[in-house]
Amino acid sequence: MSLLRYLLFVLFFSALLFSACREEALITDSAAKVVFTRDTLRFDTVFTRTGSATRFFKIKNPHNQPIRLSRIYLEKGSASLFNLNVDGVSGDLQENITIPGKDSIYVFAEVTINPSNQDNPFVINENLIVEVNGNTQRVVLEAWGQNANYIPDNLSKGKIATLTSDQLWNDVKPYVIYGILVVDGCKLTIAAGTRIHVHGGLVKTTGNGIYSDGMIYVQNGGEVVIQGTKDKPVVINGDRLEKEFEKIPSQWNLIYFAPGTRADFNFTTIKNSRIGIFADSLSDLRLKYCQIYNTGGPALYGRQADIRLDNCLVHSNGDRSIVISQGGQFSATYSTIANFGANSPAVELSNAYCKTYDAQGNCIQLLTSPLVSRMKNTILNSSQRDAISFFEVPNGGFDYSFENCVYKVEDLVKADRGGYTDFFNYSTDCINLKNGDVLFKKIDADNYHLDTLSVAENKARPVAGFDKDLDGIQRDPLKPDIGAYEFKPR
């Protein structure tokens, strides 16, 4: 072989060898990300014993060049109930994983849960984190943590469950509503002692707002009857059972009653929602021995509805506790409505509702309807100077009265504030709180029983059919106490 041919052979072979060994340059642009085949990985098995399930998704590299994943890991680390396997390699934290251009890798996730462990949340969520080129991307891992009646069932892909025929909920296992339950033209009866948990997921609105979407929606003449008792109340709550979530508001959205629907709630507690109950026009609500508290907004919002509160307690609301809008009928008897901590009154009464606003926030379409409000033996108190506020359209019908109530009004009755100087003409034997007046036992502990020196003691007027208070204590037949609780030394 001539020297020239030998040199050409060496150069050609070296070029082939270099080409075979050279690693193609990684794409490191911060704008370069990966793509997931799923944004949420759901483990939709209903566990009847200690159970495990495995699901997978793919991470795709949409670019022509290879890309390197700095880290893949589970957000909760060693506390996680999930385990990972990335492209055949086990480990809940893995680093420096390269995906060739236009290629993909598999990620397997496994969860092991004891469904009888009542300390588990009903729905267990965790983020699987992928770090790439300085970016953080996430896939949500979601599993069912306890034995329960999941609405819709765990195998359902949708977020809406619709009831169209009468049903009775009386299972000893709790009911977990995942998304929206629609009661459509039928009757849902909920037996004493039933536990209901609503899972609320965050949803972005068109106005860049964020709220929780878990709700119960009653429409087309539907009806909800809750048969709670003193010893077996019905509790409607979020699905986070950890102690740190005990008093967190807005964990789920609300219970909504569309026009023409009906509710009859007995010994029912509604808590930790965005709004407790929204009662739309011509809906009919009867709440007896109920509690609504720790809401992000109003506990009760009525719009041209018919609402009655008997022996109820409403407190700790992020907005006005009760809003009665665009008239309708509202009554409260032997109830306690206390709103401390929020810069809002306990009750707002109005015979109008603004349906449409312009771009500057001015009302351009105001709807009015007559208001009839009757409050008896009821406490209304708040952090504000006025526990009661009015919004009245003249000649629209504004009929209210207070009998044997305890309330706090100051600016509402001042002429120089445009107030209702004749307010007290519509009050009979009521007490307007002054600084220094003692009322509740311990507000900062949410204890709204009456203090030993409470001004509400012995000031109510007996009302037939209201012989017991919210605790089941017998009321004094001649001189009962104002509010949801009869005083008893504790």
Domain residue ranges in the chain: 35-144, 149-450
Cis, bond preceding 489 (omega within 30 deg of 0): no
Q: Parallel, antiparallel, or unpaired for β 313-317 and 195-199?
A: unpaired
CA dist., res. 47 & res. 187, Å (int): 30
C-alpha distances (whole Å) from 377 to each of 97, 163, 298, 302, 460 are 69, 38, 22, 21, 5
Tokens linked to 259:
């026009």
Judged by DSSP in three states, 429 sits in: coil
Nearest to 447 by CA among 293, 265, 230: 293
CA dist., res. 441 & res. 200, Å (int): 34
Under 8 Å CB-to-CB from 120, ≥6 apart: which residues? 113, 114, 145, 146, 241
CA dist., res. 388 & res. 458, Å (int): 23
Secondary structure of 340-374 as H, E, C letters: CCCCCCCEEEECEEEEEECCCCCEEEEEECCEEEE
pLDDT in tens, 207-225: 556 555 789 999 999 999 9
pLDDT of residue 151: 87
Homologous superfamily (CATH) of 35-144 is Immunoglobulins (2.60.40.10)
DSSP string, 181-232: EEEESSEEEE-TT-EEEEE--EEE-TTS-EEE--EEEEETT-EEEEE--SSS
pTM: 0.80
Nearest to 42 by CA among 205, 181, 201: 201
Q: Parallel, antiparallel, or unpaired for β 149-151 and 175-178?
A: parallel
Instruction: Provide the residue-wise pLDDT of the chain in tens; the chain has 490 residues.
Output: 554 455 445 445 555 444 444 557 899 999 999 999 999 888 765 444 455 678 899 999 999 999 999 999 999 998 898 999 999 899 999 999 999 999 999 999 988 887 777 778 888 889 999 999 999 999 999 888 888 888 875 544 447 889 999 999 999 989 989 888 999 999 999 999 999 999 876 555 555 565 557 899 999 999 999 999 999 999 999 988 878 889 999 999 999 999 999 999 999 999 999 999 999 999 999 999 999 999 999 999 999 999 999 999 999 999 999 999 999 999 999 999 999 988 899 999 999 999 899 998 899 999 999 999 999 999 999 999 999 999 999 999 999 999 999 999 999 999 988 899 999 999 999 999 999 999 999 999 999 999 999 999 999 999 999 999 999 999 999 999 999 999 987 6
pLDDT of residue 404: 98
Paired with 143 in beta bridges are 43, 124
pLDDT in tens, 288-341: 999 999 999 999 999 999 999 999 999 999 999 999 999 999 999 999 999 998
